[in-house]
């Protein structure tokens, strides 16, 4: 990780600790747009992390900039952080400087099923980056003002954040392509990776909350952390969190390598599995307290349940990996797993 | 806490990747393409194969050259071991000596012990067993009761060691014993002795057949067994620190997630090139787990290479890796089409029979989870 990224992560963490408390997440989930939080994220330049310096950005490579998403997961940041970060990096090819300001979301063809995936934060976005599949798996983009498109009535997903289906309006105006995501598969892989990194961050936070709670909550005259049954569960949770973090980081490290598609499928599948197991244990440790709306654990766990399904659930990416292994055959399994074919 | 979760990225150096193709070629030439069992089961004791590895310089690879070691990196050792295990190579004879007895002697042994034992181990001609557990001391290792009483020129050992794999055919066993101490602490007064398994009197080795029918581990009974003074490892009374360090080498290697690998290979052969969606997802899930575990294990090799002591990280790799290994045969039996070929059945049944040991040896699942919990500050 380069020094600029390190500094940016540190200042982002300081900012989010203060600017993204539980109250802000609650407000968003109650339907209020977090303009103050957004302004602070903009002021720090976080959303322009992967925009070239010549266009007023920080100029980080994608693999570095996307590490910010771990913090977005850790603090349950209730804005389209991934979509704006990635979308602006793609849109910087468009020659539309005005698109690099304001909330951006991405309308992408669904990984599973027909048509477009629900568009996160569609009602609040100023810009929608619409991805259109072309011939031979290529993808082109249009960067359109939100009001130019028509959307379904917004609904709240598991994360409690607004989303809507794109009904029409795309296809007008000039399209552009980006070397960052020349193919639909690469775009979908990057979006899946973004969710893996966010899940890893949310899992870290769920573990921290669970450990702190176990050390504070007393039953039978002692902290529940002193019971082996609880210790064993938290150890299992730690394993899942560590695996999700490593898989997500490996996905980032592979960006640009011939192994990237495999690494992203592994990241989404492994982090998605950890999300389900991890959320279950975190809730069990928190008991009834963690089931209340007042406790902040659900800000993490509901996002884990949401993100694991977005841009392809575990079984989708597992099957993609599995089919590739079957095609290569049993004697190629080990070389395939180790990238040494 | 965050530190225990940090498995820094490691890219294997070119020297390690170059070694990979060398090992692969060696395995193909030496063992051919016939079916092989998983590396660590009963059939894996093969002194001839160990000697051949020794001649290649693939035992004691990371040890100093002055003892005949390779002076190579942990990454090269990592690649060499994972290639052998994935291929189902019979590495059992020299395994313990290479993984932990040699490193223990390098860290705590006398110069004379290093000069005597290390070159023999490196040549693939000297095999070690572990003498830690006893009939009443399994996970609670500090409760061992085997005693060593000082006598003229050495020690008289009395007691019983249990689960000592290979003691019926190996040369030496590093044995954890109680030596006299003033202290009341359970961890005080423990020492390690190198016992000659082939040339000691007062020593009886009785193989114990496991549920798979292999006579692999043993009961070793000491009755006034004399061990010369120069066979004490390290300081008398320092045994607890020493075994703890020894166990550290034991917990994060590729053997912690490759024990059932041949089932994965044969399952893929059974399923063939056109899997159902369910079969593809199940195989892909196993691959996602394996690639992530391997990535974590390589990261721990990086920590060892930079002289860190990754106790909790190693425990996490073993915890996740062992649970995965136990799952592999359970998954395979349900997704294989039909009953499967004879080859598949044999590999699967072999692994089902050995699977209970995966989450016991080298520290039970429960003990490892306790170590992780300690790392979290819960105890």
For B221-258, the pLDDT digits (tens) are 999 999 999 999 999 999 999 998 877 777 889 999 99
Interchain contact, B377 vs A215, CB within 8 Å: yes
Query: Which of B172, B179, B218, B214 is closest to B195 using CA atoms?
Result: B172
Q: Rounded to an integer, what distance in angstroms lies between the CA atom of residue A340 and that of residue B291? A: 13
Q: What's the longest Cα–Cα distance across chain A?
A: 68
Q: Rounded to an integer, what distance in angstroms lies between the CA atom of residue A234 and that of residue B176? A: 32
Sorted by sequence, the CB contacts under 8 Å of residue B103 that are 6+ apart come out as B63, B246, B249
According to DSSP, residue B13 is labeled P
Interchain contact, A242 vs B316, CB within 8 Å: yes
According to DSSP, residue B140 is labeled -
According to DSSP, residue B141 is labeled G
Sorted by sequence, the CB contacts under 8 Å of residue B289 that are 6+ apart come out as A243, A270, B320, B324
Q: Rounded to an integer, what distance in angstroms lies between the CA atom of residue B128 and that of residue B141? A: 19
Q: Is the dihedral of CA A114, A120, A126, A131 positive or negative?
A: negative
Beta strand pairing call for A218-219 and B172-178: unpaired
pLDDT at B35: 66
pLDDT at B82: 96
For B104-119, b/e burial (b = at least 16 CB within 10 A) is bbbebbeeebbebbbb
Q: Rounded to an integer, what distance in angstroms lies between the CA atom of residue B356 and that of residue B351? A: 9
Contact (CB, 8 A) for A161 and A118: no
Of all residues in chain B, the percent with pLDDT exceeding 70 is 97
* Confidence grade of residue B41 (pLDDT, cut at 50, 70, 90): low
Residue of chain A whose alpha carbon sits nearest to that of B372: A235
Radius of gyration of chain A (CA): 20
Question: Looking at CA atoms only, how far is residue B230 from chain A in angstroms?
Answer: 42
pLDDT at B225: 98
Segment B254-274 shows an average pLDDT of: 95
pLDDT digit string, tens, across residues B155-204: 999 999 999 999 999 999 999 999 999 999 999 999 999 999 999 999 99
Position of tokens 């990780």? Answer: A1
| DSSP characters over B251-285 | SSSGGGT-TTHHHHHHHHHHH-SS--HHHHHHHHH
Question: Looking at CA atoms only, how far is residue A322 from chain B in angstroms?
Answer: 4
The dotted CATH code for B251-375 is 1.20.140.10
Q: Rounded to an integer, what distance in angstroms lies between the CA atom of residue B310 and that of residue B319? A: 14
Whether chain A has a CB inside 8 Å of the CB on B156: the answer is: no
Interchain contact, B288 vs A317, CB within 8 Å: yes
Query: Which of B245, B379, B255, B241 is closest to B317 using CA atoms?
Result: B255
Segment B266-282 shows an average pLDDT of: 97
> Where in chain B do CATH 2.40.110.10 domains reside?
130-238
Q: Rounded to an integer, what distance in angstroms lies between the CA atom of residue B64 and that of residue A256? A: 38
User: B232: which strand partners?
Assistant: B193
Question: Looking at CA atoms only, how far is residue A337 from chain B in angstroms?
Answer: 6
Query: Which of A189, A179, A175, A87 is closest to A134 using CA atoms?
Result: A175
Strand, helix or coil at B105? helix
Q: Rounded to an integer, what distance in angstroms lies between the CA atom of residue A76 and that of residue A16? A: 10
> Where in chain B do CATH 1.20.140.10 domains reside?
251-375
Residue of chain B whose alpha carbon sits nearest to that of A270: B288
**Structure tokens given for B204:** 């009886």
Strand, helix or coil at B191? strand
**Structure tokens given for A75:** 């603090």
Interchain contact, A330 vs B268, CB within 8 Å: yes
Q: Rounded to an integer, what distance in angstroms lies between the CA atom of residue B121 and that of residue A291? A: 58
Of all residues in chain B, the percent with pLDDT exceeding 90 is 86
Residue of chain A whose alpha carbon sits nearest to that of B375: A235
Q: Rounded to an integer, what distance in angstroms lies between the CA atom of residue A199 and that of residue A269? A: 11
Contact (CB, 8 A) for B92 and B322: no
For residue B72, count other CB atoms closer than 10 A to its CB.
Answer: 19
Mean pLDDT of chain B: 93
| Chain A, chain B: beta-carbon pairs less than 8 Å apart | 175
Interchain contact, B7 vs A246, CB within 8 Å: yes
Q: Rounded to an integer, what distance in angstroms lies between the CA atom of residue A281 and that of residue A203? A: 11
pLDDT at B43: 66
Q: Rounded to an integer, what distance in angstroms lies between the CA atom of residue A313 and that of residue A268? A: 8
| Set of chain A residues whose Cβ sits within 8 Å of the Cβ of B322 | none
Which residue in A222, A236, A254, A333 has the most chain B C-beta atoms within 10 A of its own C-beta, making it the best mutation to test that interface?
A333
Position of tokens 């294990």? Answer: B297
H/E segment holding residue B216: strand B215-228
Contact (CB, 8 A) for B285 and A313: no
Contact (CB, 8 A) for B97 and B128: yes
Where chain A has pLDDT below 70, the residues are: none
Contact (CB, 8 A) for A322 and B283: yes
Contact (CB, 8 A) for A199 and A271: yes
Could you say which of B82, B285, B295 has the minimum Cβ distance to residue A318? B285
Q: Rounded to an integer, what distance in angstroms lies between the CA atom of residue A242 and that of residue A240? A: 6
Could you say which of B21, B268, B294 has the minimum Cβ distance to residue A333? B268
Instruction: Tell me how far the alpha carbon of residue A151 is from its chain's centroid.
Output: 22
Question: Looking at CA atoms only, how far is residue B39 from chain A in angstroms?
Answer: 15
Q: Pinpoint the alpha helices (H) of chain B.
A: 14-31, 47-56, 74-86, 92-96, 102-108, 111-122, 239-248, 261-271, 277-305, 311-335, 342-358, 365-375
pLDDT digit string, tens, across residues B209-219: 999 999 999 99
Query: Which of A327, A190, A205, A212 is closest to A267 using CA atoms?
Result: A190
Interchain contact, B277 vs A319, CB within 8 Å: yes
Residue of chain A whose alpha carbon sits nearest to that of B296: A246
Query: Which of A340, A27, A316, A44 is closest to B21 using CA atoms?
Result: A340
CA angle B299, B304, B306 (to 5 degrees): 95
Q: Rounded to an integer, what distance in angstroms lies between the CA atom of residue A195 and that of residue A275? A: 11
Cα–Cα separations (whole angstroms), residue A70 to A40, B44, B160: 18, 44, 52
Beta strand pairing call for B172-178 and B232-233: unpaired
Give me the helix-helix angle, A184-216 and A260-286, nearest 10°. Answer: 30
According to DSSP, residue B6 is labeled -
Could you say which of B86, B266, B296 has the minimum Cβ distance to residue A246? B296
Contact (CB, 8 A) for A140 and A176: yes
**Structure tokens given for B24:** 């692969």
Q: Domains in chain A, ordered, with CATH?
A: 3-168 (1.10.540.10), 184-328 (1.20.140.10)
Question: Looking at CA atoms only, how far is residue A139 from chain B in angstroms?
Answer: 26
Q: Pinpoint the alpha helices (H) of chain A.
A: 3-19, 22-29, 35-43, 62-65, 68-74, 81-91, 184-216, 228-253, 260-286, 297-307, 314-328, 333-338
pLDDT at B46: 94
Could you say which of B2, B265, B281 has the minimum Cβ distance to residue A318? B281
Q: pTM for this one? A: 0.96
pLDDT at B1: 43
pLDDT digit string, tens, across residues B283-327: 999 999 999 999 999 999 999 888 888 889 999 999 999 999 999
pLDDT beyond 80 at B36:
no
Q: What is the CATH superfamily name and number for domain B2-126?
A: Acyl-CoA dehydrogenase/oxidase, N-terminal domain (1.10.540.10)
Interchain contact, B283 vs A326, CB within 8 Å: yes
Return the CATH architecture of domain B130-238.
Beta Barrel (2.40)
Segment B81-102 shows an average pLDDT of: 95
pLDDT at A170: 86
> Where in chain B do CATH 1.10.540.10 domains reside?
2-126
**Structure tokens given for A3:** 């020094």
**Structure tokens given for A186:** 């690469």
Query: Which of A201, A233, A202 is closest to A297 using CA atoms?
Result: A202
Sorted by sequence, the CB contacts under 8 Å of residue A259 that are 6+ apart come out as A339
Assign residue B171 a region (left: φ > 0; alpha: ψ between -120 and 50; beta: otherwise). Answer: alpha
């Amino acid at each position: 990780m380069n020094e600029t990224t390190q500094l940016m992560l540190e200042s982002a963490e300081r900012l989010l600790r203060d600017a993204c408390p539980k109250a802000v997440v609650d407000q968003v989930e109650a339907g209020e747009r977090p303009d103050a939080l957004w302004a602070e994220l903009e002021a720090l330049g976080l959303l322009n992390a992967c925009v070239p310096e010549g266009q007023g950005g920080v100029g980080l490579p994608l693999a570095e900039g996307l590490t910010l998403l771990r913090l977005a997961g850790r603090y349950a940041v209730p804005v389209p952080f991934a979509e704006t970060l990635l979308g602006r990096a793609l849109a910087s090819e468009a020659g539309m400087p005005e698109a690099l300001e304001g909330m951006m979301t991405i309308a992408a063809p669904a990984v599973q099923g027909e048509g477009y995936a629900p568009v996160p934060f569609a009602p609040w976005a100023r810009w929608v980056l619409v991805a259109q599949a072309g011939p031979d798996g290529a993808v082109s983009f249009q960067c359109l003002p939100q009001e130019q498109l028509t959307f379904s009535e917004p609904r709240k997903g598991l994360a409690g954040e607004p989303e809507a289906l794109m009904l029409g309006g795309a296809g007008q105006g000039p399209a552009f392509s980006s070397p960052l995501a020349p193919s639909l598969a690469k775009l979908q892989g990057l979006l899946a990776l973004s969710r893996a990194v966010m899940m890893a961050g949310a899992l870290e936070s769920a573990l921290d909350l669970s450990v702190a709670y176990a050390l504070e909550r007393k039953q039978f005259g002692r902290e529940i952390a002193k019971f082996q049954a609880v210790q064993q569960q938290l150890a299992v949770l730690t394993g899942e969190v560590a695996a999700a973090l490593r898989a997500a980081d490996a996905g980032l490290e592979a960006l640009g390598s011939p192994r990237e598609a495999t690494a992203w499928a592994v990241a989404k599948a492994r982090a998605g599995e950890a999300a389900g197991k991890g959320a279950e244990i975190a809730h069990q440790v928190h008991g009834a307290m963690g089931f209340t709306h007042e406790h902040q654990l659900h800000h993490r766990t509901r996002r884990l349940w949401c993100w694991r399904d977005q841009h392809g659930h575990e079984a989708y990416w597992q099957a993609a990996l599995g089919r590739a292994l079957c095609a290569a055959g049993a004697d190629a399994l080990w070389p395939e797993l180790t990238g040494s074919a | 806490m965050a530190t225990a979760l940090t498995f820094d990225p490691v890219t294997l150096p070119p020297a390690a990747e170059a070694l990979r193709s060398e090992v692969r070629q060696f395995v193909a030439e030496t063992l051919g393409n016939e079916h092989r069992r998983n590396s660590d089961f009963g059939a894996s004791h093969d002194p001839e194969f160990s000697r051949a590895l020794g001649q290649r310089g693939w035992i004691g690879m990371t040890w100093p050259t002055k003892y005949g070691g390779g002076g190579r990196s942990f990454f090269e050792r990592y690649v060499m071991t994972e290639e052998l295990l994935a291929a189902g190579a019979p590495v059992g004879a020299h395994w313990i000596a290479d993984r932990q007895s040699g490193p223990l002697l390098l860290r705590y042994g006398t110069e004379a012990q290093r000069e005597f034992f290390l070159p023999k181990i490196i040549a693939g001609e000297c095999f070690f067993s572990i003498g830690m557990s006893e009939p009443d001391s399994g996970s609670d290792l500090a409760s061992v009761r085997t005693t060593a009483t000082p006598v003229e020129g050495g020690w008289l050992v009395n007691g019983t060691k249990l689960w000592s794999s290979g003691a019926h055919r190996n040369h030496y066993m590093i044995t954890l014993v109680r030596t006299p101490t003033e202290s009341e602490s359970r961890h005080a007064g423990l020492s390690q002795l190198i016992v000659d398994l082939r040339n000691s009197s007062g020593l009886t080795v009785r193989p114990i057949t496991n549920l798979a029918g292999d006579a692999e581990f043993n009961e070793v009974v000491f009755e006034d067994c004399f061990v010369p003074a120069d066979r004490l490892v390290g300081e008398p009374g320092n045994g607890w620190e020493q075994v703890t360090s020894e166990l550290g080498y034991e917990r994060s290697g590729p053997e912690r997630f490759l024990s059932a690998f041949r089932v994965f290979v044969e399952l893929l052969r059974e399923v063939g090139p056109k899997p159902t969606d369910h079969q593809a997802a199940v195989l892909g899930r196993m691959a996602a787990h394996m690639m992530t575990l391997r990535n974590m294990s390589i990261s721990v090799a990086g920590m060892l290479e930079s002289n860190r002591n990754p106790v909790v990280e190693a425990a996490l790799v073993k915890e996740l890796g062992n649970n995965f290994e136990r799952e592999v045969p359970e998954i395979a039996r349900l997704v294989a089409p039909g009953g499967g070929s004879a080859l598949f059945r044999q590999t699967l049944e072999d692994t089902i029979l050995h699977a209970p040991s995966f989450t016991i040896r080298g520290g039970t699942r429960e003990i490892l989870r306790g170590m992780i919990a300690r790392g979290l500050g819960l105890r």
